[in-house]
Amino acid sequence: MQKCKETRKVLSIQLFRISVLLIVSLITFTGISLGRSLPAESVLNKRLSINLKEVTLEKALINIQNKTGVKFVYSSTLIPLNSKVSVDASEEKLSNILNKLLAQLNIIYSVNAGQYIVLKKNQLAFADSLNVADLLMSNQQRTVSGKVVSKEDGSPFPGVSVVVKGTKNGTVTSADGAYKISVPGDQSILVFTYVSYQTQEVPVGSKSVVNVQLSESANALSEVVVTAAGIKREKALLGYSVTTVSSDKLAQKSEPDPLRALTGKVAGVNIQSSGGVAGGGTNINIRGNSSLGNNNQPLFVVDGVPFDNSSFGNVGSNGVGGAGVTNRAFDLDPNNIQSMTVLKGAAAAALYGSRAANGAVIITTKSGKRGSMKGTEITYSSSYAFENVSGLPEYQTKYGQGTNNDYRQGVYGSWGMPFVGVPSVLPTRTTIPHQLARSFSSAIFPEFYQADGVTPIQVPYKSYAKENVSNFFQTGNVFENAVSISSGTDKGNFTSGISRTENTGVVPENGITRTSINIGGNIKLDNKWYASGSMNYVKTTQKTPPISSNAGAAGSIMNALMYTPTSFDLTNYPFESPIDGSNVYDYTGQDNPYWLVKHSPSTSDVDRYYGNFILGFDPLPWLNIQNTAGFNAYSDSRLNVRGKGSSFYPNGSMTLDNIYRQELDNTLLATITKTINKDLNLRWILGNNINQRLTKRTVFYGDGIIVPDLNTITNTSSIVPLQVLNNRNEIKQRFYAFFTDITLDYKNFLSLNLVGRNDVSSTLPANNRSYFYGGANGSFIFSEALKIDKKIISFGKIRAGYTRVGNEATPYLTNTVYLSNTQLGAPSGVGAIGTPFTYTPIGSTNSITTNTSTQIDILANSNLKPEFITELELGGEVRFFDNRIGIDFTYYNKKSTSQIFTVTAAPSTGYTQQILNLGRATNQGIEIGFTATPIRGQGNGFNWDISSNFTRNRNKINDLGNYSQFTYGGPDGISSVHMVGQPYGQIFGTAYARSPAGDILIDPNTGKPLTSGTLKAIGNPNPDFIWAMTNTFSYKNFTLGIQIDWKKGGDLLSNTVGNMYSRGVTRDTENREFQIVSPGVYGNVNTLLPILDANGNTIPNSTALSYEDHFFNGGMGPGGVAEGSVLDATVFRLREITLGYAIPKDLLKKTPFGSAFISLSARNLWYKAPNFPKYMNFDPEVSSLGVGNSQGYDILAVPTTKRFGINLRFSF
Amino acid sequence: MKIAYKKYTFLLAGLVLLNSSCKKFVDINEDPNNSTSPQLNLLIPSSQISMVGNMYQLNSGASTLVQHTIFSTPLSRFQQTGTSFNDSWNGFYTQTLNDIETVITAGTTSQQWGYVAIAKLEKAYLYSIMVDMWGDIPYTEAEQGAGNTGPGLEKGDAIYAKLFTLIDEAVVDANKVTGTSLMVAGGTDVFYGGSKASWIAFANTLKLKMYNQVRLVDPAASTAAIRTLVASPATLIGGTGTANTTDFSFKFGSNASPNNRHPWHRSEYQGSKTFYMSTSLVSGLIANDDPRVRYFVFRQVANVGANNSTGGNGYYGREPGDPTSVPADLARRSTFGVYPAGGLYDNAPISSGLPATNVFLTNTGATGTLKVVTVNDGGGAGLMPLITNSMVKFIRAEAALTLGTETPAAARQLYMDGITASFTNIASVTGVAFPAASVTGFVAKMVAQYDATDDAGKLNLIMSQKYIANYGNGMESYNDYRRTGLPVLRGLASPLNVFPLRLYYSDTELTTNSSLLGNASALQVAQQITPVFWDK
């Protein structure tokens, strides 16, 4: 027995080494070959020179792997890796070398699945090596067969190692996932292992067929991730935190926006959508905002090429505002995403340079994926989802339109008389004159008048609150269809796909469709060259009625919808004039939402092309040279229509906005991979990157629509060009960079990575435009190094990194310019005078046209320097009990220095904005990933996985030079402020005047609160933490996933809530027939100091207000001072439930399908924002300012939606 | 390995080569869309247009305080906030004065004295108005860009003193342009078409206005200076007559796109509206038989009355200080007329409320119809009366009466000329003539009242008529009211504060100017109750 124990120990060590070897081979394979596939024959025909004497087989195999890029697969227990071997060959075929090498050990080999060289013990010799027990058992041997498929998509799984537990007996699955193995008896357990998949142990019992589904292991020991510049590294060895989200977690979740689909799935990432608009902008930031003034969105890289995620705001005064504008990551179809890797820290992103200072999202598309399998596969997927507004307020149904408890027509408040039957001391009435008769004569609506044509008819005075808003919103839907084809041969492979997504929003006439076509392929050339390329075309069209209520914007559907007077029958009253189709509403100057939906559409047509071409060369076994040329361009043609007959602007107008954006990128990489000695491996990458970004924009304004509803710019009576911001129609920037990345791996448990990069950016002045940065990070897998018992600590590592990343500026900040014929006067509204200026002098009859030029009001900075972000990241990852419990912990401290700010300048300096180059801000945070498998299913048994992540980021402005605060963003009402010692980007607005003790000061004359003399920081939009948990249950063919999340804190200035309070429409203001006294003390309106009594004490407020006044403008509630509308946006949410079912193969036998998968999904089923007024039912996951650094505002946003979907996927 | 090193060498050599050729590659940061050099002939009109454009908020707010109109309910109740006037403050400093300083600097270098003179005069005018409105403001330390990012406040009287010097400098500069009547090319000067004589008249008139403004704090200096100025009345705006050809008024255009129209027209001649007509002004005009009310106000509906009721005469506006919420009356409230907003002339019958004794404001010849105004009604080519002949006459009358700068008889004549000039101006700007008899008749009626009263009454009449003539420029009436307390304004229905003696600073300034941040809130609220230096 002593011997047996020892054997087992050796075995376990071997197992460990084997798995490590496997990993190494995988990494080496993927690393050196950069993912291209190696056809079987060429593998064996590959020639190499090798000279090894008396080394272990393991070392020999590693050596061959390093030189050829082949990958060996073998059963850990079968191959005697410690046996000494010798081989001497010069430019010989690999097959010959393997023959020489393996014959010594009685090992045979075969090429499997076109990619792997599978090593097996020669069966004849096999029995000799078995011990007596094995020999005895072998008497009862029988054959078991089966098929291994991927749990995610049911596709066949080649190359899976199948071993009879406790023996050396093993095999590998074939290309179609099938295997056949001899087992000693019914007690046998088969162990299925594959890199980065969960190992499964299945008792054989009396079965002769054992089919297995392998599922990806979230924290697999040997997960390989794509890091910066397309470099693949083993996750276990990384010195920094990354998270990869695979396709199955993104696609078919009834969420057409790839960014929103990511919500809650990655620690450290904060995603904020802009409400329930189909195609609304989605803001994403990683580890908090670090740049005080610049872009804080991460860099998107698709198949190695930067992918623009801009969100262009509308120009002119009739735009639909931020929330209606899509950010262009929407052009990515989640169905075509193979994986999304989020590189969170500076360390991870250093190689992308400036633009990845805020992290990077590296996306591999299915078409861009290299190295697919042999054979042809066709996958078809289809899904349908419907969506509804997730929460509407609970409206009060007791009081109608009016003020002061009196019915008042035309008033947009519901503080009127109670309805008949409502218990009240107030008088009531049964009918009112038809509301529309007030503004529309009998010439237009004779039916609203009595026979005399003057006296309006009476209509019932009753509540329509329950139906008005809910009737307006419709059931939206998402319909997705995708087909993809991939086909491979020994020489290369080809993928192609087409998909279409249609999302009809809950707002009528709001929708977005996306059609994408992609083709990709790669080919191995005979003379050490290889090439690959992909090409994508995406057409995205969006249509939306005006939904934003930003200051200066035209009428919006949301302007008054949520607080429609409760006794106004919005649903059934006409919304357009039967005579000329003009707007009909009882709120002059504001269009009826139904009218806007019909007559004021905004459309956007995006044509996007992107692709890459990769050419690689392996001149020497240890050297790879690869060039990636990529392009990414789109044109967005927008037409914003303000319909003819609008109350807001009766003549109607259109704005045509053509945006062209182009990005060209080229990366040249030389990769040197060397084994320095037995334990030390080096990989050294040298690279060059050249990039150009260009934006061209032309905007035309057409005034006066000629024929209604003919929406083309030529159908307007005058067309003039509109200037975009600062007249910058064309913006171009370039950079080039040299970089290096050095990785040293010692014995596969210690890794050191050094990166360095020098950027030269066109956006900086010549003397400052070149800047160097870099960093170091390392990892130590202590569980390996200390050989800790895997049953207890399966994996343990610590990692550390310190990186500095430079960040360039935006173009044209270094020179003062003069704008020709720009708009002069007030920034917007009627005080803004257009030029050229045409006028007729007094006493003259001839008009004069005068051109103008004005100095730009941005104070340029000719000494601009790059800004830097330095980040210290410490972390560790430990998994216990056979990977059943895992914790991944990261702490980071990110310092941003010498920030390039565009901040609001003191106007008296002569400028509205100044470009500064100073300041220091820190983001400190922790990210905790937690995984557990409380119940681990065997085979088809019940399995329960928990995956959870926690993100807590604290940001602080440490220094702003000589300044104490900087404001930025929009005008008052939507601006943000940075203040020294306080968090990033606080909400800036009117605040209550307070006594020194902090009590709100009350005006003794009005009983209303006093406003402080100047604007203040009134809320912090940064959440305290974000926590999400996904539970996945699987049993047999069923999989159930439930994701819940909790965003704690983060303030929101909610205009929706403020308005609904002050208009008295929800049940929060139903109990109203009494007066209230606001808490506070009396204050002096001019000194803003408390009024003191004879004893010098403050005087508590005792001035009573009606409930209406309390909430109405200037009141105590959220209808008054902005501070009153700031609420804590803590929200609990049931984000996602999916139930999947893989249709059993035997049911599909008579169909053409190889596999079929059906799932049901539901998103945003339930939420609770405990700090919002109860009956508002408000979902704070809205952001009216769309994408940018100003957050924390809800300006009458469209409510969020909940979706239910059904998804089907077939593969042939 | 040797081969390998060679390869590295090649690689490095290649990279170095690439590097040196890359200088041009990244030399593209000069804005391809915009000019990088200042052009004086384009900057001057820009400064003039932006000055008036930026005045919209300030003028509308000041007009509300003096009950010319009602632009915002809080302001009509004397409640200011940091955003009440921030657009104007921000725009003056960042657009208008910025361009003016560029012209002064660049023009002095290139010795283009005509542009320099205009720029200095505009600067003096604008800063004087800003002092009048806000009291203490950044002046010497202002407009220095990165040179001073926190310009401190300077006392109003100190700035006034510097402005008088600046005006004199400007005249010297103007006189460096010789041999031509045009200081600059005609098309580049929106106010005076480049006329040197007009600009010099403006310079003199500006001094007259400013010396009259400060007459309470330094009567002797004001008296002396005004005496000198009025000694040559021909060198003042309006000269010796009642025509408005040299008025310092800004004429808007009628283009809707790009929009060159009067802001009040743009604001009100559309579905949504911002303003209410002030019942205080309108009822006073009707009661005083003043035909100008048909020019100032256009009724949309003939019979709408107080609180959007029916049965009125259509002059439905708001009482100053009315706190009640706004009903849906956008198609019913009365709105701006043809003067100064460039809207419609109200020639429809007035159904009720006309005193039977009226002679000039009657329904005789009132054949027009009313309508709900739309965007192209009237054309919007209105006027911003900054300094008009009529104002000059009233200023001289006030100075004559209070400082004795001219004789009482001259004061009486100036009072009459002021009224006449107002009518002349309105008729010539709008193209809608008054019946000749109504002008002379009205003037005769007013002068009879003048003759019948004492000096205090005379001053009241001068200031009241100036107040009406100023309609469209609330800033000057706000100055006059604080200086003289005239005309007596209506008490507010529901004031939230006392009458503001200064305007609130821009929130933007208070929250960004490092020299003010410390006590921004106290500084702000003190504005309401702190008089401007000339206000005694």
List Cα–Cα distances, A40 to A90, A109, A113, A115, A457, in angstroms: 21, 12, 8, 6, 87
Q: What is the pLDDT of residue A374?
A: 53
Q: A359 vs B227, which has greater pLDDT?
A: B227
Q: Are strands A858-859 and A913-935 parallel, antiparallel or unpaired?
A: parallel
Closest alpha carbon within chain B to A587: B328
The residue assigned the tokens 């075309």 is A537
Closest alpha carbon within chain A to B130: A908
Residues A967, A989: Cα–Cα separation, whole Å: 11
Number of residues in chain B: 536
Contacts of A859 in chain B (CB under 8 A): 145-146
CB-based contacts of A1149-1153 (< 8 A; 24+ apart in sequence): A1152/A1212, A1153/A1210, A1153/A1211, A1153/A1212
φ and ψ at residue B514, rounded to 5 degrees:
-65, -20
Which residues lie below 8 Å from residue B377, measured CB to CB, with a gap of 6+? B269, B343, B344, B371
- Beta carbons of A439 and B506 less than 8 Å apart: no
- Beta carbons of B524 and A586 less than 8 Å apart: no
Reply yes or no on whether the pLDDT at B317 is more than 60.
yes
The residue assigned the tokens 């498929």 is A149
The lowest-confidence range among A309-318, A1001-1010, B381-390 is: A309-318
List Cα–Cα distances, A571 to A594, A595, B218, B320, in angstroms: 9, 12, 69, 38
The letter for the amino acid at A752 is L
Q: Name the pLDDT band for A113 (thresholds 50, 70, 90).
A: very low
Cα dihedral B366, B369, B370, B373 sign = negative
> Which of A599, A713, A731, A908 is best to mutate for the B interface (most B CBs within 10 A)?
A908
Tokens of A246: 């695979």
From the list A807, A920, A813, the residue with the least C-alpha distance to A858 is A813
- % of chain A beyond a pLDDT of 90: 22
Residues A517, A536: Cα–Cα separation, whole Å: 6
Q: A1060 vs A377, which has greater pLDDT?
A: A1060
Contacts of B54 in chain A (CB under 8 A): 825-826, 831
Contacts of B271 in chain A (CB under 8 A): 588-589, 646-650
In the predicted model, what is the mean pLDDT of chain B? Answer: 92
> Which of A580, A724, A740, A1014 is best to mutate for the B interface (most B CBs within 10 A)?
A1014
Tokens of A475: 């059931």
Q: What is the pLDDT of residue B501?
A: 97
Cα dihedral B26, B32, B38, B44 sign = negative
Asked if A840 contacts B251 with a C-beta cutoff of 8 angstroms, the reply is yes
At residue A330's C-alpha, the angle toward residues A324 and A336, to 5°, is 160
Residues B116, B121: Cα–Cα separation, whole Å: 9
Query: How many helices (H) and strands (E) would you count in chain B?
Result: 19, 8
- Beta carbons of B45 and A839 less than 8 Å apart: no
Average pLDDT rounded to a whole number, residues A34-49: 54
Rg, chain B, Cα only? 27
- Beta carbons of B81 and A990 less than 8 Å apart: yes
Task: Express each pLDDT in B94-149 by its tens digit.
Answer: 999 999 999 999 999 999 999 999 999 999 999 999 999 999 999 999 999 989 98
Task: Express each pLDDT in A840-881 by its tens digit.
Answer: 998 888 899 999 999 998 899 889 999 888 889 899 989 888
Min Cα distance A1184 → chain B (Å) is 22
- Option in B33, B47, B263 nearest A727 (CB): B33
Q: Name the pLDDT band for B49 (thresholds 50, 70, 90).
A: very high
Q: A970 vs B521, which has greater pLDDT?
A: B521
The residue assigned the tokens 């408005």 is B244
Asked if A641 contacts A685 with a C-beta cutoff of 8 angstroms, the reply is no
Task: Express each pLDDT in A1093-1112 by its tens digit.
Answer: 999 899 999 988 888 888 87
Asked if B443 contacts B420 with a C-beta cutoff of 8 angstroms, the reply is yes
The lowest-confidence range among A916-925, B390-399, B405-414 is: A916-925
DSSP states of A857-882 as a string? SEE--TT---EEEEEEEEEEEEEETT
Task: Express each pLDDT in A277-324 by its tens digit.
Answer: 777 767 777 776 666 666 677 888 888 788 877 777 766 544 433 345
φ and ψ at residue A1031, rounded to 5 degrees:
-105, 130
Q: Are strands A986-989 and A1016-1019 parallel, antiparallel or unpaired?
A: antiparallel
From the list A229, A264, A259, A265, the residue with the least C-alpha distance to A245 is A265
Closest alpha carbon within chain B to A813: B29
Q: What is the pLDDT of residue A959?
A: 85
Min Cα distance B191 → chain A (Å) is 8
Reply yes or no on whether the pLDDT at A1173 is more than 80.
yes
Q: Are strands A299-302 and A360-365 parallel, antiparallel or unpaired?
A: parallel
DSSP states of B60-99 as a string? HHHHHHTTSEES-HHHHTT---TTSSHHHHHHIIIIIHHH
Q: For residues A789-802, b (16+ Cβ closer than 10 Å) or e, as one string?
A: ebeeebbbbbbbbb
Task: Please tell me what DSSP assigns to residue B326.
Answer: P
Min Cα distance A1112 → chain B (Å) is 10
Which residues lie below 8 Å from residue B206, measured CB to CB, with a gap of 6+? B121, B124, B125, B128, B167, B387
Task: Express each pLDDT in B11-25 by its tens digit.
Answer: 444 444 455 556 788
Q: What is the pLDDT of residue A319?
A: 40
- Beta carbons of A907 and B509 less than 8 Å apart: yes
Average pLDDT rounded to a whole number, residues B299-305: 92
- Option in A410, A701, A911 nearest B329 (CB): A410
Rg, chain A, Cα only? 34
> Which of A623, A703, A848, A909 is best to mutate for the B interface (most B CBs within 10 A)?
A909
Contacts of B382 in chain A (CB under 8 A): none
Of the segments A990-1004, A1167-1181, B452-466, which one has the largest average pLDDT value?
A: B452-466
From the list A1123, A838, A991, the residue with the least C-alpha distance to B379 is A838
Q: What is the pLDDT of residue A335?
A: 75
Tell me the pTM: 0.80
Min Cα distance B363 → chain A (Å) is 26
Average pLDDT rounded to a whole number, residues A391-400: 91
Task: Express each pLDDT in A557-591 by its tens digit.
Answer: 887 888 889 999 999 999 999 999 999 988 767 88
Reply yes or no on whether the pLDDT at B250 is more than 90.
yes
Strands, E assignment, A762-831: 770-780, 793-807, 818-820, 824-825
My answer on whether omega of the bond before B258 falls inside 30° of 0, hence cis, is: yes
Reply yes or no on whether the pLDDT at A31 is more than 80.
no
Interface ipTM: 0.93
Q: 3-class DSSP state for residue A271?
A: strand
Q: What is the pLDDT of residue A26?
A: 36
My answer on whether omega of the bond before A423 falls inside 30° of 0, hence cis, is: no
- Option in B375, B428, B512 nearest A905 (CB): B512
Of the segments A774-778, A911-915, B372-376, B445-449, which one has the largest average pLDDT value?
A: B445-449
Min Cα distance A1013 → chain B (Å) is 4
Burial class from Cβ neighbours inside 10 Å (0-12, 13-18, 19+) for residue A981 reads exposed
Contacts of A856 in chain B (CB under 8 A): 34
Contacts of B328 in chain A (CB under 8 A): 409-412, 438-439, 586-588
Residues B199, B203: Cα–Cα separation, whole Å: 6
Residues A217, A848: Cα–Cα separation, whole Å: 75
The letter for the amino acid at A729 is N
> Which of B95, B245, B310 is best to mutate for the A interface (most A CBs within 10 A)?
B95
- The strands making up A107-112's β-sheet, listed across from edge to edge, are A71-74, A116-121, A107-112
Contacts of A408 in chain B (CB under 8 A): 327
Tokens of B163: 């402005």
- Beta carbons of A833 and B260 less than 8 Å apart: yes
Average pLDDT rounded to a whole number, residues B437-441: 92
User: Which residues is A120 bridged to in the sheet?
Assistant: A108
Q: 3-class DSSP state for residue A156?
A: strand
> Which of B50, B143, B326 is best to mutate for the A interface (most A CBs within 10 A)?
B50
In the predicted model, what is the mean pLDDT of chain A? Answer: 80
H helices of A634-786, in order, are 782-785
Residues A38, A468: Cα–Cα separation, whole Å: 64
Average pLDDT rounded to a whole number, residues A749-774: 91
Q: What is the pLDDT of residue A1138?
A: 87
Asked if A192 contacts A186 with a C-beta cutoff of 8 angstroms, the reply is no
Q: What is the pLDDT of residue B307?
A: 83
Q: Are strands B383-387 and B248-251 parallel, antiparallel or unpaired?
A: antiparallel
Reply yes or no on whether the pLDDT at A409 is more than 70.
yes
Average pLDDT rounded to a whole number, residues A1047-1066: 88
Reply yes or no on whether the pLDDT at A646 is more than 60.
yes
My answer on whether omega of the bond before A983 falls inside 30° of 0, hence cis, is: no
Q: 3-class DSSP state for residue B409?
A: helix
Closest alpha carbon within chain A to B58: A831
Reply yes or no on whether the pLDDT at A115 is more than 80.
no
Residues A183, A162: Cα–Cα separation, whole Å: 11
Residues A1111, A1124: Cα–Cα separation, whole Å: 10
Q: Are strands A1201-1211 and A375-389 parallel, antiparallel or unpaired?
A: antiparallel
The lowest-confidence range among A543-547, A786-790, A1192-1196, B9-13 is: B9-13
Q: What is the pLDDT of residue A527?
A: 78
Q: Which helix (H) or strand (E) holds A19?
A: helix A2-33
Asked if A478 contacts A579 with a C-beta cutoff of 8 angstroms, the reply is no
- Beta carbons of B270 and A650 less than 8 Å apart: yes
Q: Name the pLDDT band for A418 (thresholds 50, 70, 90).
A: very high
- % of chain B beyond a pLDDT of 90: 79
Min Cα distance B467 → chain A (Å) is 22
Count other Cβ atoms within 10 Å, centred on residue B240. Answer: 10
